[in-house]
Amino acid sequence: MDAALKRRLEARFGEGLQGPVRQRHDETEIRIAPAQVPDVLRTLHDEADFHFQLLADLAGVDTGTAMQVVYHLWSTTSSDWLRVIADGLPREDPRVPSITFLWRGAEWMEREAYDMFGIIFEGNRDLRRIYMPPDYTSFPLRKDFYLPDDAARSPGGGVRHMEQPEAPLAPGKTLVRRTRA
């Protein structure tokens, strides 16, 4: 754990954080409000004390009650990875500012989070489906997404037809396939 990074984050962002700076092994984590994303990430990217030049990943999260956007950053100034969580996006209309002005590669990551979770990244110039068809109306990684045959919606529904186990062969029996030559 990089205790110096924790002190720098607390000194720079202080009361603006939504909770304490958390550290575990080689990871440091901060939580911020969605509206703070551009300012906090610009500071982490540009200021020499932080200099987080690499956006390794951006992911959407559905907690069941709210949505989150998680950014994983790396810097030469710290031995820790930094996880920044934009917390508290409403599930009905999840919106967060785009960070493509800092990391151009974020465009594809934001498109993926939009496609799978429905999170709108305001300012992304090409926010469209990346995996699902353009006319698809659902978001497959949300907790309220169900497949048409999903038995989990009804507790007594039993095993889905796709997941029915095969009966084992009787002891000593083998399956022989005959093919024509």
The CATH number of residue 114's host domain is 3.30.460.80
* The model's pTM: 0.79
Instruction: Answer whether 41's CB lies under 8 Å from 98's CB.
Output: no
For the chain, what is the mean pLDDT?
Answer: 86
Domain range for 80: 3-145
- 119-146 mean pLDDT: 89
Domain annotation covers residue 64: yes
Q: What span, in angstroms and rounded, lies between the C-alpha atoms of 151 and 163?
A: 11
Instruction: Answer whether 127's CB lies under 8 Å from 111's CB.
Output: yes
pLDDT at 42: 96
Q: What is the pLDDT of residues 47-102, one digit of tens each?
A: 999 999 999 999 999 998 999 999 999 999 999 999 999 999 999 999 999 999 99
Residue length of the chain: 181
pLDDT above 70: residue 176: no
Domain annotation covers residue 166: no
pLDDT above 50: residue 147: yes
How many domains in the chain?
1
pLDDT above 70: residue 41: yes
Domain annotation covers residue 21: yes
pLDDT at 67: 96
Domain annotation covers residue 90: yes
If pLDDT is split at 50, 70 and 90, which confidence band does 163 have? very low
Instruction: Report helix, strand or coil for 32.
Output: strand
Domain annotation covers residue 79: yes
- 19-46 mean pLDDT: 95
Domain annotation covers residue 164: no
Of residues 50 and 175, more confidently modeled: 50
Domain annotation covers residue 24: yes
| CA 149 distance to own-chain centroid | 26
Domain annotation covers residue 173: no
Q: What span, in angstroms and rounded, lies between the C-alpha atoms of 153 and 125?
A: 37
